[in-house]
Each structure stands twice: as C-alpha cells, then as structure tokens.
C-alpha cells in the first residue's frame, strides 16, 4: 500500500517536474518577455511595455494570423473528410486485414516529417510526378505551379497531419458497439439516418480529438510552409520563428507565441467541455487520452 | 394453430461461409402467441431471430411476414422490433429520446410522438425517468426502456434476444412475469430467445427446441417436458433418467413388454416398435417411486438398488441411487409432513418403480 503510494508520488512527481522545468517555466518566461521592450543589441531590455501586443493588431500580423487559421481549418476539414471514411473502413475491416491498414497510417509516424515534406516536392514540384503524369495523359499542356503557393502548404499540412486525424477516429469508431447501429435500423432508421443519429454523435469525441490533433499543430507548424510555401505568404509559425532568429525581436515573437498558446488552451478547453458532455461524469479522461489510447 | 400465421419460415437454410448455421427450418409463428426458441449456444436460435428482424437473409428458403416474402426486406422496413441482449440503448440519448427514436424515424407529428412515448413509459412504470440517461438507470430499468423503445412502434412481432441474461435471479423472475403480462395486454406476437428452459416454460405458449441448426421439437412446455420426441430434447430440458431396454413382446393398443436394465416391465407408447428393438426408456426424477426394500411396498416388477446420497432442496429431496446392475438414477420426492420415510441413509437398500404410462419410450438412436 505504502509502496504503491511511493511509486505514484514518484512517477507523477517526475512528470510534473519535467513538465514544470521544460514546458511551464519556458512558457512563463516567454509570457514575461512578451511584456518587455526590444533591444538593439540585447534580445530584450527589462522595461515594461504593451507595445508588442499593440503591434499584433497591425494589419500585417492580423493577415498572417488569418491566413494561418484559414489554412489550418481547411487542412483539418480535409483531413476529417478523408480520415473518417478511412478510419471507418479500418475499424470495420476483418481482424486479419486491420493491422495492415493501420500500418499504412503508422509508417509515416516512423519517418521524419521534414523528410516527408521534402519528398512532397518530388510529387508536386514543377518537374514532379504529378505534373509529369498529367502532361503524359495530355490533361495539361504546361506544368501547374503548385510549389510555393498556399495550395502547396495546404497539401503539405494535410499530408503531414492526416495520421493524427485517423488514429483517434479509428479508436472511437472501433469502440462503437455495432448493436447500437443495428438497434437504430431495427427502429426504422435508414443507414444514412442511423449514421447521423447514432454513429456520428457517438464518435464525436474521436472527431473532436482528431480535429484538435490536426488543427493545433497545423496552426504552429513552421517547417511545412517554410519548405513548400513562398516568402509572400507568411504563416504564424514562420512569423514567430523569424522574430526570434531573423529580426532579433524576442518580445514580439514572445507576444505572438503567447497569443497562440492562449488560443490553443481555449480550444483544448472546448474539447474538454464537448467530451465531458458526451461521456458524462464517469469518464474523467485526460485531455487527449480517451480519444487516442486505442489507436497507438 | 387457429390464427393466421404472422411469420412463416419455409425450408430456411443459412450458411456463414462454409458453416451451416440453420438447416432447412420450417416454422409457423401464429399471430398473438408467445413463442420461445430454446437451445444451447450455437444452435441457430439467434440466427433465426436475426432473419426475422432482417439483419440476415436466408441462403435458401423463404421467410413470409403476413403472407409476403421478406427475404430481402431490410430491418428498417419491417414492422418488427427487437429487444436486444444488453439492451443496446443509445447512451447519448435520454430515456425519452430513446423511446421516441422509432416514432421520429417514421416522421410522426410531434404531439403524437409525445403522447405515445408518455403512454408507453407509463405502461412500463418509468414515468419519472424520462430525462435520465441510460447509464443512470439500474439494469431492470434499462430493460424496461429497451422494451418501451420497441413496443412504442406497435410492431407486428416483438423479438427478445436473451433479454434477461444481465439481470440477477430475483429481478429476472419479476421481469419474466412483467413481460408475460405485457404480452397478454398488448396481444402482440412475442418471439423470445433463451437457453434457459425454466424461463422458456414459464413464459411461452409454444417452445421450439433447437440444436445444431435444426428444430428438434415444437410444442407446449408441457408436451416438451412430458413427451420429448428425442433424446436431445429429453436431456436438454430438465433432469431425466435414460434406461436401456429391449422389446420382448408387442401387444395391441400401444402396450409392450421390454427388458429394462435386466428387469421385465410392461410399457405404454404411441410409437411403433417390433420385437427385439433396442429402446431408451425415459423417466423424470419426480416420476420414480422409491421405497425401502424391507417395507415391501411395491408390487413387482421393480428395480432394486441402494441409496448413494440425498440432497435436501427445500420443497423436494433429490435422491441419487445405484441399481444392482450399477446404473445410477436420480429421483425426487416431495416433502410430506406426515411421511417421514424419505429420510434415507446412504447405503440403504431400496426398491424403485414408476406408474405405468408415465414413461417415454424412444428408439435407441445412439446405436
């Protein structure tokens, strides 16, 4: 009994310590820096100011924020539209075929995502496979310019984060008792209405978890727009990175980063509320755990 | 069956892959009857139920619902509803929404839905529970919601798939009574699936005993218990003693003499036998008469043996005894305050017999 408690205190303590030192402290430091002035030679000077947040209301930053949110929302929706049928098919596949289908989703996890992003250039680049194939088929006369556009970034984000959508969806669809769908049909629901009234609401936790797992990283992702996007359309991740590494304006970068963190926290709270309302009080599952556990 | 049949199965065969789940089943289900499909797991009873509800279609043969072939009619288009095992209540809907689901699928006007849901909730004594979620209900209450959700649609037939398996003994008895009562009130045909023969007998007008994908016997509970048509039914339904015998003489009028476990008895049967036939003689424990040997209470013929064990059961005493030829029998005697002589001690010598005519004689199918 006492030994079990010691183990619990230790294991939880270590995790708390780790998160405290490597996540909480840097974020607090970041938040503090956001209220300080920028320096000519130093990264920042310890003078209180709200200038950084004022600057965030400039049209430049608001455009960046709007473009980022728009792209992240679009990628999330496409991932959902593509991921749900796939996750459904995997969940309903025979036990023999299921691991192989799941492997299709998991293999990309094992590959460095930066490498996968570069690999995308081979496909969508001007001399890439896509253009060559389309030209060979005679569908287009000259290569379509996809690289360095919003479209390329959008394709990249969708491609990179699709597995994060599929796994929680798979977990929640697989958990769904098929007899509930039978019951709906038995009570006179067509397949479509049974899906709408039973399958969809009961897999909502998976949908919300998947959307969070795609939307949140898509919002802050900087390497995909860096590699596939052009200099003209900057996204939030790139903006923040530039403030720290290029413009040497730590306070502004910190302010933008803090705003993004607050946005993420707000969304996480939305997720928790939705999840609680669906699963009731018994399952007090952690933020993402309830949606993801079965998938990994 | 006097009434017009509501369901009829003609030569229904079902294969899952290469496995035969049902083998050429013929069954007529009368309007308004309480019919139970009884059998061990894997006997095909659930397959029949799923074909009646429309979730499976026969590989061969036809299913008629009110005279129309419904082989390919999907479940949502059949006026048949199911009470699922473990209820399958929609966990994200309140009791009210669960019960209203079927009516809403029919797109009935809102006030009719409200009226019918309220009425059916009253009928199953759940008036105050309409706003609860299924997980906030006890097992018995969930069971009632499942029943209400099905009967609110006024089905032609209500299918019940082992609906009591998750309930404890006392609640199960109570729900059996309530369901039987409900069926009489509604006058709807109930098709009930169970592997529990006591449950089947307590509730049914007719019982269909199944094994390995085919029907072994159809009849009233009494017919099934007292006149089993084969050894499977005899052994599946209640305890029974199976004695080995050989016919030595056949007389007119269904009477014959047979050598049973070494003793010559006169037997009655409706079945045809000829001299030399090997037979099985079936006797329920409560049909056997047991007396102490020294009392000399029985007229021959009788078996002689000794008591192995007595088991006190409250209303009855079970007696395990061994005949002189080594055969073990089970007898059951009812307690009688005035009669002390059923207190046997192990090893006591006894005589065993039965009232002529209570036996069931079957041909020896195990040869």
Q: Find the CB nearest A280 among B80, B88, B133.
A: B133
Q: Do A187 and B105 touch (CB under 8 A)?
A: yes
- Domain boundary at B235, B270, B298, which? B235
B75, B89, B135 member nearest A186 (Cβ): B75
Question: Which residues in chain B are closer than 8 Å to A187, comparing Cβ atoms?
Answer: 76, 81, 101-102, 105, 149-150, 153
Kindly state whether residues B288 and B221 are assigned to the same domain.
no
CATH number of the domain to which B93 belongs: 3.40.50.300
Q: Per the CB < 8 Å rule, is B105 touching A188? A: yes
CB contact under 8 A, A183 and B90: yes
Residue with tokens 């019982």, as numbered in its chain: B207
Chain A nearest C-alpha distance from B197 (Å): 26
Residues B257 and B186 in one domain: no
CB contact under 8 A, B91 and A187: no
Kindly state the tokens that stand for B239.
């305890």
Residue B311 and residue B166 share a domain: no
Q: Do A278 and B92 touch (CB under 8 A)?
A: yes
Q: Which of residues A141 and B11 earns the better pLDDT score? A: B11
Burial class, B265, CB count within 10 angstroms (exposed 0-12 / middle 13-18 / buried 19+): buried
Sheet with B5-16, side-by-side order of all strands = B19-30, B5-16, B60-65, B68-69
pLDDT tens digits along A18-28 = 999 999 999 99
Is the minimum CB–CB distance between B74 and chain A shorter than 8 Å? yes
pLDDT for B337: 64
Contact A182 B81 (CB under 8 A): no
Interface contact B133, partner A, CB < 8 A: yes
Best residue of B101, B103, B156, B166 to probe chain A, by most A CBs closer than 10 Å? B101
| Nearest chain B CA: its distance from A277 CA (Å) | 9
Q: State whether B105 and A186 contact (CB < 8 Å).
A: no
Residues A189, B86: C-beta atoms closer than 8 Å: no
pLDDT reported for residue A44? 81
Residues B77 and B217 in one domain: yes
Omega within 30 of 0 (cis) for the link into B354: no
Q: Which of B75, B98, B103, B145 to mutate to test the interface with A (most CBs of A within 10 A)?
A: B75
Per-residue pLDDT of chain B in tens (367 residues, 90 and over written 9)? 455 799 999 999 999 999 999 999 999 999 999 999 999 998 999 999 999 999 999 999 999 999 999 999 999 999 999 999 999 999 999 999 999 999 999 999 999 999 999 999 999 999 899 999 999 999 899 999 999 999 999 999 999 999 888 888 888 888 899 999 999 999 999 999 999 999 999 999 999 999 999 999 999 999 999 999 999 999 999 899 999 999 999 988 888 999 999 899 999 988 888 888 999 999 999 999 888 888 777 788 899 999 999 888 888 889 999 999 999 999 998 876 666 656 788 998 999 999 888 899 998 876 5
Q: What is the ipTM of this complex?
A: 0.85
Instruction: Sketch out chain A's domains with CATH numbers.
Output: 51-292 (1.10.3720.10)
Which residues does A contribute to its contact with B (CB < 8 Å)? 177, 179-180, 182-190, 193, 197-198, 201-202, 278, 280, 282
Enumerate the residues of chain A whose CB falls inside 8 A of the CB of residue B82: 182-183, 186
Residues B147 and B271 in one domain: no
Q: Which of A179, A189, A197 sits opposite B88 (nearest CB)?
A: A179
For residue A197, what is the DSSP state?
Answer: I
User: In chain B, whose CA is at the least distance from the CA of A279?
Assistant: B92
CATH, residue B315 = 2.40.50.140
Residues of A in contact with B55 (CB under 8 A): 182, 185
Which of B55, B76, B145, B158 has the highest number of chain A CBs within 10 A, making it the mutation to test binding with A?
A: B76
Task: Indicate if B206 and B301 belong to the same structural domain.
Answer: no
DSSP B282-338: EE-GGGEEEEEGGG--SPSS-EEEEEEEEEE-SSEEEEEEEETTS-EEEEEEE--TT
CB contact under 8 A, A189 and B76: yes
B318 and B348, same domain (yes or no): yes
Tokens of B233: 């039914």
Residues B281, B305, single domain; the answer is yes
Tokens standing for residue B260: 């049973």
- Which of B220, B235, B250 is the endpoint of a domain? B235
Pick A206 or B298 by higher pLDDT.
Answer: A206
User: Rounded to an integer, what distance in angstroms lies between the CA atom of residue B106 and that of residue B333?
Assistant: 57
User: Across the interface, do A186 and B76 touch by the CB < 8 Å criterion?
Assistant: yes
How far does Cα B160 stand from its chain's mean position? 14
Same domain, B276 and B344: yes
**pLDDT tens digits, A70-107:** 999 999 999 999 999 999 999 999 999 999 999 988 88
Asked if residue B251 and residue B179 are part of one domain, the reply reads no
A198/chain B closest Cα distance in angstroms: 7
For residue B341, what pLDDT is reported? Answer: 59
Q: Which of B176, B205, B235 is the last residue of a domain?
A: B235
Checking if the pLDDT of A282 tops 60, the result is no
Same domain, B211 and B86: yes
Taking an 8 Å cut-off on Cβ atoms, the answer to whether B76 and A190 are in contact is yes
Nearest to A186 among B53, B86, B133 (CB): B53
Q: Which domain holds residue B42?
A: 5-235
Same domain, B199 and B325: no
Chain A positions touching B113 (Cβ under 8 A) are none
**Mean pLDDT of all residues in chain A?**
85
For chain B, how many structural domains are there in total?
2
Interacting residues of B195 by C-beta distance below 8 A, sequence separation 6+: B38, B39, B40, B41, B45, B162
* H helix runs in B124-236, sequence order: 139-151, 169-186, 197-203, 221-226, 231-236
Q: Percentage of chain A surpassing pLDDT 70?
A: 92
On chain B, the residues whose CB falls within 8 A of the CB of A275 are: none
What is the CA B193 to chain-centroid distance, rounded?
9
- Orientation angle between helical segments A204-220 and A59-92, nearest 10 degrees: 140
| Listed residue (B36, B49, B84) closest to B197, CA to CA | B36
Contacts of A278 in chain B (CB under 8 A): 92
């Amino acid at each position: 009994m006492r030994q079990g408690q010691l183990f619990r205190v230790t294991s939880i303590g270590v995790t708390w310590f780790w998160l405290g030192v490597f996540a909480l402290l840097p974020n607090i430091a970041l938040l503090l820096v956001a209220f300080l002035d920028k320096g000519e030679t130093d990264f920042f000077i310890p003078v209180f100011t709200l200038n950084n947040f004022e600057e965030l209301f400039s049209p430049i930053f608001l455009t960046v924020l709007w473009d980022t949110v728009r792209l992240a929302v679009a990628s999330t929706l496409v991932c959902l539209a593509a991921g749900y049928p796939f996750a459904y098919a995997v969940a309903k596949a025979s036990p023999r075929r299921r691991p192989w289908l799941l492997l299709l989703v998991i293999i990309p996890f094992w590959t460095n995502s930066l490498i996968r992003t570069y690999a995308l250039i081979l496909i969508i680049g001007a001399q890439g496979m896509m253009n060559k194939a389309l030209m060979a088929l005679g569908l287009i006369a000259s290569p379509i310019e996809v690289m360095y556009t919003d479209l390329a970034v959008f394709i990249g984000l969708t491609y990179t984060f699709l597995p994060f959508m599929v796994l929680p969806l798979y977990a929640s669809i697989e958990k769904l008792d098929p007899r509930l769908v039978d019951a709906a049909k038995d009570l006179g629901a067509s397949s479509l209405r049974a899906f709408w009234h039973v399958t969809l609401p009961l897999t909502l936790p998976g949908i919300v978890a998947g959307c969070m797992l795609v939307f949140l990283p898509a919002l802050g992702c900087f390497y995909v727009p860096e590699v596939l996007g052009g200099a003209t359309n900057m996204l939030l991740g790139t903006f923040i990175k530039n403030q720290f590494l290029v413009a040497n304006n730590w306070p502004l970068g910190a302010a933008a980063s803090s705003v993004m963190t607050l946005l993420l926290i707000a969304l996480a709270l939305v997720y928790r509320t939705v999840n609680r309302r669906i699963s009731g009080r018994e399952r007090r599952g952690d933020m993402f755990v309830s949606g993801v556990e079965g998938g990994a | 069956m006097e009434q017009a049949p509501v369901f009829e199965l003609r030569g229904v065969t079902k294969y899952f892959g290469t496995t035969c789940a049902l083998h050429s089943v013929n069954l007529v289900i009368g309007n308004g009857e309480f019919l139970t499909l009884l059998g061990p797991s894997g006997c095909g009873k659930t397959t029949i139920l799923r074909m009646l509800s429309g979730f499976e279609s026969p590989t061969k043969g036809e299913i008629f619902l009110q005279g129309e072939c419904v082989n390919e009619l999907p479940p949502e288009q059949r006026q048949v509803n199911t009470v699922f095992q473990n209820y399958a209540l929609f966990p994200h809907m309140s009791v009210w929404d669960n019960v209203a689901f079927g009516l809403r699928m029919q797109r009935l006007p809102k006030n009719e839905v409200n009226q019918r849901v309220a009425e059916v909730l009253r009928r199953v004594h759940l008036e105050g529970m309409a706003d609860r979620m299924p997980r906030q209900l006890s097992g018995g209450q969930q069971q009632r919601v499942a029943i209400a959700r099905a009967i609110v649609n006024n089905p032609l037939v209500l299918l019940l798939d082992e609906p009591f398996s998750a309930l404890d003994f006392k609640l199960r008895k109570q729900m059996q009574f309530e369901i039987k009562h409900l069926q009489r009130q509604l006058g709807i045909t109930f098709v009930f699936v169970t592997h529990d023969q006591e449950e089947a007998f307590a509730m049914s007008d007719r019982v269909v005993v199944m094994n390995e994908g085919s029907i072994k016997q159809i009849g009233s509970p009494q017919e099934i218990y007292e006149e089993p048509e084969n050894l499977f039914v005899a052994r599946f339904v209640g305890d029974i003693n199976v004695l080995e015998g050989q016919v030595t003489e056949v007389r007119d009028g269904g009477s014959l003499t047979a050598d049973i476990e070494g003793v010559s008895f006169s037997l009655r049967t409706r079945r045809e036998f000829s001299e030399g036939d090997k037979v099985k003689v079936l006797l329920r424990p409560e049909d056997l008469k047991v007396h102490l040997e020294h009392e000399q209470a029985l007229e021959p013929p009788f078996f002689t043996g000794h008591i192995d064990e007595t088991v006190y059961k409250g209303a009855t005493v079970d007696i395990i005894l061994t005949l002189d030829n080594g055969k073990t029998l089970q007898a059951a005697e009812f307690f009688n305050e005035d009669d002390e002589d059923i207190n046997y001690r192990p090893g006591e010598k006894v005589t065993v017999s039965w009232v002529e005519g209570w036996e069931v004689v079957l041909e020896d199918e195990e040869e």
